[in-house]
Structure 1
């Protein structure tokens, strides 16, 4: 009898140690719509109200005045808002880059798809910066080889949309071929490298800008593009941009 109990005890241990296998047979879910029918929790509201008020006051702070409505489609191959964004990066990112490297940014290239809102005429606030740049992207400066610069120009020619640029002028002829390129008002030197400021998203080949992935060097400025725009608005006081001749096609 004693041996029988011992056998049963050992059998129970072995059974407990065996791994059980489970098979998924069904997945269920339901959608809970968040709407006005859901009542607010007054205790939570009272806790959050001071923080909500502070954030709202910060976002609504008047930083500058915008002279005219600006959108990414108000020009041909460049736009008022795109020009503003690229010029802002050039003006405020270059001192940071120069202080770290003793070099200067040659030009700026951002992306058309990164412009997420229009800028209406009137007050410019911190909320404006969050609307046109809701992402956490930061500025990086990449050193591009002559080969990569050529690939970049071919990309811009084939895209034929208003990607924001600053510090570079590109002119296409009637056949959509590049007829002239200037960097910092000087003819493009096809034998030298150039320092290009862009976003960390584009650096990794975003929007098919794969030429950035082959950069010879990379410097991150630890400067969010949205924060740069806020600093730019504060510095400028008045924003006044229109499409210009930085990227055009000859008639």
Structure 2
């Protein structure tokens, strides 16, 4: 025991202690003056080539550039419709209403070929698809919340008339009225379903299906399907949001 204690003390005494005596810093500009490490560039090249090939894949051709705009735009409508269609396919059941967070739409889409990379610019976040089953009363609360708090209401499958950021009337896309006691399936991002953008009331919804499907992938697959026709597309706002 004494030998072990002596050994421990000797080992501790042999350790070197370091103390900071000064520091300095320099600003390094990341520009053409920085020489790339050639071995690293060669190592990354196959991955970069594969990434470029994926991101540059043309999906569909638009005849004009699309930008988000309040209270409604062609971009808002086609994104919401894309989610409505693709969510129904992945969920395996018809979806009544789709919703996208207006603030989550981060870019427009160009005229000409729309690529996978363009869709990443529009929807850079890895938000997952969630389907909530809401009563008519809850659905109207949902729509009114985003009408009042977002710059624009980005929805598919529903048409609304509103004034002073309050919805006066809403009907489903097929003309059906929203009945308080009936239930409706609503496709949205996990961010919103988890109470994002102030939608805390959604946290209490138990009729929830987490679909293993990125919102971004839904948009990519929708545009790819549209592009198979081989004809340019001219998206238009269809008047689903009416300001009175």
State the TM-score, normalizing by the size of structure 1. 0.80
Equivalence for 1:47: 43
TM alignment of 1:27-42, pairs within 5 A: 32-42=28-38
For structure 2, which runs of at least 5 residues remain unmatched after alignment?
A: 13-19
Give the RMSD, CA atoms, in angstroms. 3.0
SS at match of 1:194: strand
Shift in Å, 1:243: 2.1
Task: Tell me whether 181-190 or 28-37 shows the greater mean CA deviation.
Answer: 28-37
Instruction: Evaluate the alpha carbon distance shift between residue 132 and residue 213 of structure 1 in structure 2; reply closer, same or farther with a 3 A threshold.
Output: same
Counterpart CA distance in 2 for 1:115 and 1:97 is 23
Shift in Å, 1:189: 0.6
Equivalence for 2:169: 180
Task: Tell me whether 155-164 or 111-120 shows the greater mean CA deviation.
Answer: 155-164
Equivalence for 1:143: 133
Deviations 1:74-105 (A, max 9, x none): xx42221111111001111102212xxxx421
Instruction: Evaluate the alpha carbon distance shift between residue 108 and residue 51 of structure 1 in structure 2; reply closer, same or farther with a 3 A threshold.
Output: same
Shift in Å, 1:145: 3.1
Equivalence for 1:19: none
Matched, 1:154 2:144: yes
Structure 1 residue ranges, 4+ long, deviating more than 6 angstroms after superposition: 26-30
Q: 8 Å contact 1:144–1:214 — kept in the other structure?
A: no
State the TM-score, normalizing by the size of structure 2. 0.82
Instruction: Evaluate the alpha carbon distance shift between residue 44 and residue 132 of structure 1 in structure 2; reply closer, same or farther with a 3 A threshold.
Output: same
Equivalence for 2:77: 83
Counterpart CA distance in 2 for 1:226 and 1:186 is 29
Instruction: Evaluate the alpha carbon distance shift between residue 197 and residue 28 of structure 1 in structure 2; reply closer, same or farther with a 3 A threshold.
Output: farther
Matched, 1:59 2:55: yes
For structure 1, which runs of at least 5 residues remain unmatched after alignment?
A: 1-5, 17-23
Shift in Å, 1:36: 2.4
